Amino acid sequence: MKQEAETATGAPTTLWDRTRQLATREILETALRLFTEQGYVETTTAQIAREAGVSQRTLFRYFPAKEDLLGGNQDRFGLVLTAAISEQPTEASAWEALRAGVAAAQALHETREQALERFRLLHNTAALRAGWLEKRLRFQEDLLPLIKARMDTAAGSADARARAVIATAFACLDAASMAWVDNDGKGDIMDLYDECLAAVRG
């Protein structure tokens, strides 16, 4: 995932930013390669730091938790998701706003190949899967007021319906990403997301 601070033109702002960008990219690429070759559990942060040419202290300054090495700090997924939904026009439905958020979060992957390896590791590694589910529940709570505001309050409990809509969107993302991995990354994950959502909504 893209980690660097950027200007409006997309270029890193300072020499420190460019140095940090290069360091984080090297660490992430090294981690993803080792996770793929050896397995997530079998790969240590010490090995990643050594092969990336940095100290463990530097590695943990950029990535506080081992799971963050799968593709950058997962909290950024939540931040991008929330920001994209907040930016949607008021006339956009809850479903449309959530789709825009999911699409923005998926754009954080730098390449299709990296996205495929990350999803494959996520779905096939119990420790990563458990961590993702825990974070997902927090993301859903963060999104609740944004989605609730787009619900028709005259139709019943906006709170319950908003929770159901958010949970469905995340379930569709899970189903789409698993199908995408099973198909070796063929096709577009957002097309699969749309198919899953259409199936659920009937």
Per-run averaged pLDDT (10 residues), the chain, 202 residues:
40 70 86 92 94 92 86 74 95 96 89 88 86 86 94 79 95 95 94 96 86
Q: Which amino acid is at 197?
A: L
pLDDT (0 to 100) of residue 71: 65
Instruction: Give 98-105 contacts, CB < 8 A, sequence gap 24+.
Output: 98/143, 98/147, 98/165, 98/166, 98/169, 99/169, 99/190, 99/193, 99/194, 99/197, 101/143, 102/169, 102/173, 102/190, 102/193, 103/190, 104/80, 105/77, 105/80, 105/81
Same domain, 26 and 81: no
pLDDT for 72 equals 54
| Residue 176 sits in the same domain as residue 107 | yes
pLDDT at 10 (0 to 100)? 47
Looking at the fold, whether 24 and 86 belong to one and the same domain comes out as no
Residues 58 and 129 grouped into a single domain: no
**Structural domain span for residue 190:** 73-201
In the prediction, which pLDDT does 49 show? 94
pLDDT of residue 3: 39
Instruction: Judge if 128 and 43 occupy the same domain.
Output: no
> Is 8 within a domain?
no
Shared domain check, 153 and 102: yes
Last residue of some domain: 68, 92, 107?
A: 68
What is the pLDDT at residue 5? 37
- At 56, which CATH number? 1.10.10.60
Model pLDDT, residue 47: 96
Number of independent structural domains in the chain = 2
Check whether residue 94 and residue 58 sit in a common domain.
Answer: no
